């Protein structure tokens, strides 16, 4: 361990943070978190392949030692790739916000290997949590619970709650068992951009911003975890994901969900992280909400005005849709199109998660017909926003 610590420390010339964090993780008043970090050239930026099914113990041990020493380690989970940092290390946690360009109002999810560890992070573990944990952990479910006072303010965005999850991916499991401590691991992408469902995505999003990237191949779910808030009187679905609303209802009986909820980026209430501009390609994306043929009509009408629009075809099968969503958005973003059009999928099961991400990727904007006004609006967006 000592050799790794010192090798990392010798590489790790620390950049001046854009905000101040005290030893107990309190943020200073000048914390904005939006500051664009100049790429931290001193990070190790190591890349290791790892078996998704039976991760090599030496690789896992190395990754755990790096996390222990305050380094940032990107690793696969069943949802998307996470950028991991030791939860009790304020410097490592602030580095995660810097690497992602993430606002400090957006709290991080803590990942652990076992339910007993969750008890050290929360001040209450209600009956609903016991039942959901028994049914869905390890797995793509995040529970928001009253926080333990020792959890850093940076992690919770100074809220009275903390979000926790036990991931099921063998690499994430092995890593969390090896560390024995909680690891904050937001998606390993720049804030607001498309989440990474493969190691290649992490490289293109965060090159040079991590110390180690564990490549365990493409993730299986493809979209982020379901977030359920159990801190209030009635359970609330904050973010749809791999565990569906139907599955949650079957366990809880009562659960509320309002889709297309939007939170301001500058506040952390009432539902942090539900930002409108999220999961976005650089090419502007619009939802098409009308009959099947509308997309082709719009592409034609826009083409007539000299603007290349392209349809992002979401697979009919909802599991496939979720798994391939971010790759499809990235592929479409890499074409010459000036505007991307996408039809939402069926709003049930994991389709809700797909539609939630599409809604935010489109910044809530949709076209419902092919009228002159709609075409004019689409043209204006394409011309103003296309890179």
Residue ranges binding Mg ion (CB under 5 A) = 187
Name the residue with tokens 């009509």.
Answer: 297
Q: Of residues 44, 60, 162, 301, which one binds ligand AMP by CB under 6 A?
A: 162
Q: How far is the CB of 312 from Mg ion (least distance, A)?
A: 20
Q: Is 283 in the site for ligand AMP (CB under 6 A)?
A: no
Q: Among residues 224, 235, 244, 309, which is the contact residue for ligand AMP, using CB under 6 A?
A: 224
Stretch that binds ligand AMP, among 31-39, 207-215, 267-275, 375-383 (CB under 6 A): 267-275
Among 96, 121, 132, 163, binds ligand AMP (CB under 6 A): 163
Closer to ligand AMP by Cβ: residue 161 or 173:
161
Q: For residue 315, count CB atoms less than 10 angstroms from its CB and return exposed for 0-12, middle for 13-18, buried for 19 or more.
A: middle
Nearer to Mg ion, 31 or 197 (CB): 197
Choose from ligand AMP, Mg ion, none: what does 355 bind? Cβ within 5-8 Å by kind. Answer: none
Instruction: Name which of 226 and 374 has its Cβ closer to Mg ion.
Output: 226
Q: Which residue is nearest to Mg ion (CB)?
A: 187
* Distance in angstroms (rounded) separating the CA atoms of residues 14 and 16: 6
Residue 294 binds to ligand AMP (criterion: CB under 6 A) = no
Q: Which of residues 344-373 bind ligand AMP (CB under 6 A)?
A: none
From candidates 45, 92, 109, 382, binder to ligand AMP by CB under 6 A: 109
Taking the complex as a whole, how short is the minimal distance between the CB of residue 155 and Mg ion, in angstroms? 15
Answer left, alpha or beta for residue 301, where phi above 0 means left and psi between -120 and 50 means alpha: alpha
Stretch that binds ligand AMP, among 64-72, 121-129, 159-167, 345-353 (CB under 6 A): 159-167
Q: Binding of ligand AMP at residue 186 (CB under 6 A)? A: yes
Binding range to ligand AMP, per CB under 6 A, among 70-78, 126-134, 153-161, 171-179: 153-161
Residue 140 is a binding residue for ligand AMP (CB under 6 A): no
Interface positions, 54-93, toward ligand AMP (CB under 6 A)? none
Per-residue HEC secondary structure of the chain comes to CHHHHHHHHHHCCCCCCCCCECCCCCECCCCCCCCCCCCCCCCCCEEEECCCCCCCHHHHHHHHHHHHCCCCEEEECCCCEEEEEECCCHHHHHHHHHHHCCCCCCCCEEECCCHHHHHCCECCCCHHHHHHHHHHCCCCEEEEEEECCCCCHHHHCCCCEEEEECCCCHHHHHHHHHHCCCEECCECCCCCECCCCCHHHHHHHHCCCCCEEEECCCCCCCCCCEEEECCCCCCEEEECCCCCHHHHHHHHCCCECCCCCCECCCCCCCCCCCECCCCECCCCEEEECCCCCHHHHHHHHHHHCCCCEEEECCCCCHHHHHHHHHHHHHHHHCCCCCEEEECCCCCCCCHHHHHHHHHHHCCCCEECCCCHHHHHHHHHHHHHHCC
d(CA 167, CA 370): 44
Does position 273 interact with ligand AMP (CB under 6 A)? The reply is yes
Select the residue interacting with ligand AMP from 55, 84, 107, 216 (CB under 6 A).
Answer: 107
* Per-residue interface string for the shown chain with ligand AMP, residues 237-266, x marking contact by CB under 6 A: -xx---------------------------
Stretch near ligand AMP under the rule CB under 6 A, chosen from 103-111, 113-121, 201-209, 279-287: 103-111
Q: How many residues make contact with ligand AMP (CB under 6 A)? A: 19
Binding site for ligand AMP (CB under 6 A): 106-107, 109, 144, 156, 159, 161-163, 186-187, 224, 227, 229, 238-239, 272-274
């Amino acid at each position: 361990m000592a050799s790794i610590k010192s090798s990392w420390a010798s590489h790790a010339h620390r950049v001046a943070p854009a905000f101040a964090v005290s030893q107990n993780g309190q943020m200073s008043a000048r914390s904005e978190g939006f500051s664009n970090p100049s790429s931290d050239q001193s990070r190790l930026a190591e890349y290791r392949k790892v078996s998704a099914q039976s991760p090599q113990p030496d690789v896992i041990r190395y990754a755990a030692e790096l996390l222990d020493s305050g380094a940032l380690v990107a690793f696969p989970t069943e949802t998307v790739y996470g950028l991991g940092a030791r939860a009790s290390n304020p410097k490592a946690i602030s580095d995660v916000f810097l690497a992602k360009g993430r606002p400090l109002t957006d709290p991080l999810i803590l990942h652990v290997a076992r339910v007993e560890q969750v008890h050290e992070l929360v001040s209450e573990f209600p009956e609903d949590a016991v039942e959901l944990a028994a049914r869905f952990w390890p797995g793509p479910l995040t529970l928001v619970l009253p926080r333990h006072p020792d959890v850093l303010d940076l992690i919770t965005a100074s809220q009275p709650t903390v979000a926790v999850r036990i991931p099921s991916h063998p690499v994430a499991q092995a890593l969390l068992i090896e560390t024995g401590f909680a690891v904050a691991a937001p998606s390993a992408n720049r804030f607001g951009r498309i989440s990474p469902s493969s190691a290649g995505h992490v490289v293109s999003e965060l090159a040079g911003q991590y110390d180690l990237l564990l490549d365990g191949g493409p993730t299986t779910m493809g979209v982020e975890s379901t977030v359920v808030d159990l801190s209030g009187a009635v359970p609330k679905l904050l973010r749809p994901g791999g565990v569906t609303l139907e599955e949650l209802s079957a366990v809880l009986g009562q659960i509320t969900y309002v889709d297309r909820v939007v939170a301001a980026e500058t506040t952390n209430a009432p539902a942090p992280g539900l930002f409108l501009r999220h999961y976005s390609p650089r090419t502007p994306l619009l939802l098409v909400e009308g009959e099947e043929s509308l997309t082709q009509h719009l592409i034609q009408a826009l083409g007539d005005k000299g603007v290349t629009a392209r349809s992002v075809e979401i697979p009919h099968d909802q599991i496939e849709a979720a798994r391939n969503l971010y790759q499809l958005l990235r592929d479409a973003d890499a074409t010459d199109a000036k505007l991307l059009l996408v039809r939402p999928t069926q709003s049930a099961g994991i389709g809700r998660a797909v539609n939630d991400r599409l809604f935010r990727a489109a910044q809530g904007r949709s076209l419902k017909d092919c009228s002159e006004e709609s075409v004019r609006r689409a043209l204006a967006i394409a011309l103003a926003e296309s890179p």
